[in-house]
Amino acid sequence: MEDNMAEDKDGVLFAQLVMTFQAAAWQQMGKIKNPLTDKIERNLDQARYSIDILEMLRNKTKGNLSEEETRFLNHVISELQLNFVDEVTKEQKAKQAQEKNSEKENAPQAHST
């Protein structure tokens, strides 16, 4: 019985750890507000780092997790990776649009006489 309680506690702690990095990644991707500043803040480098930590956790715990824990961790990582790619793509498109606008503004103007 004590072993079951310890396993349950470890399972809950594991899920909380995963959710901590999941929430951090969502926040860093600008998907949810930072609760301290109440603002949307984006830092894709930090988001990548949070996702990398979860991937490392998956690699280091391989074979030591229950099926449910493995499914949960895989789902969280996949969901974050898909959203990360989406955010990187948005950022790249925004930069390209900004560069095009900048080129138009800096292009020599034809003067009519």
Q: Determine, yes or no, domain membership for 60.
A: yes
Q: pLDDT (tens digit, 9 = 90+) per residue, 24-68?
A: 999 999 999 999 999 999 999 999 999 999 999 999 999 999 999
Q: What single-letter DSSP state applies at residue 35?
A: T
If one compares 7 and 70, the residue with the highest pLDDT of the two is 70
For residue 110, pLDDT over 70 is answered with: no
Question: For tokens 């006489």, what's the residue?
Answer: 113
Coil, strand or helix: which one is 99? helix
Residue for token pair 């990095």:
21
Give the global pTM: 0.81
Residue 107 in any domain: the answer is no
Quote the domain boundaries for residue 79. Answer: 2-84
- On whether residue 76 sits in a domain, the answer given is yes
Report how many domains make up the chain: 1
User: Would you say residue 97 lies in a domain?
Assistant: no
Longest dimension (CA), the chain: 93
Q: Is residue 105 one of the residues assigned to a domain?
A: no
pLDDT digits (tens, 9 = 90+) for 7-27: 789 999 999 999 999 999 999
Is residue 99 a part of any domain in this protein?
no
pLDDT at 75: 98
With 60 as the cut, is the pLDDT of residue 104 above it?
Answer: yes
Q: Does a structural domain hold residue 69? A: yes
Exposed/middle/buried for 83, CB within 10 Å: 0-12, 13-18, 19+? Answer: middle
Between CA 6 and CA 42 the distance in angstroms is 38
